[in-house]
Amino acid sequence: MPQATGRLPQATSRLPQATGFMRQATGFMRQATGCLCQATGFMLQATGCLSQATGCLLQATGCLSQATGCLLQATGCFVC
């Protein structure tokens, strides 16, 4: 017991340092949470862009099929 009592002042003197580390760790956790929120936002934006791109591709496919139809009609006219 006397040995433990002797180490008490040393342990007490390190409390401010430990508190500082805890504050730092809390700050880093807040930063990490902020980064995760940003990343989630970017992922949602990317998903929206992908769905827009898919819509554009579908429109382009429709235009190509219409163009193919027009070319076939034009070819039919030349055959006549």
Give me the half-sphere count of Cα atoms (radius 13 Å) on the Cβ side of residue 62: 6
User: What is the rounded distance in angstroms from the CA atom of residue 9 to the CA atom of residue 3?
Assistant: 11
Per-residue model confidence (pLDDT) at position 79? 65
Q: How confident is the model at residue 9 (pLDDT cuts 50, 70, 90)?
A: confident
1, pLDDT greater than 80: no
User: What is the rounded distance in angstroms from the CA atom of residue 30 to the CA atom of residue 8?
Assistant: 33
Output the furthest CA–CA distance in the chain (Å, rounded): 113
Residue matched to tokens 């055959």: 79
The phi and psi torsions of 15 (rounded to 5 degrees) equal -60, -45
User: What is the rounded distance in angstroms from the CA atom of residue 5 to the CA atom of residue 1?
Assistant: 6
80, pLDDT greater than 70: no
pLDDT digits (tens, 9 = 90+) for 18-71: 999 999 999 999 999 999 999 999 999 999 999 999 999 999 999 999 999 999
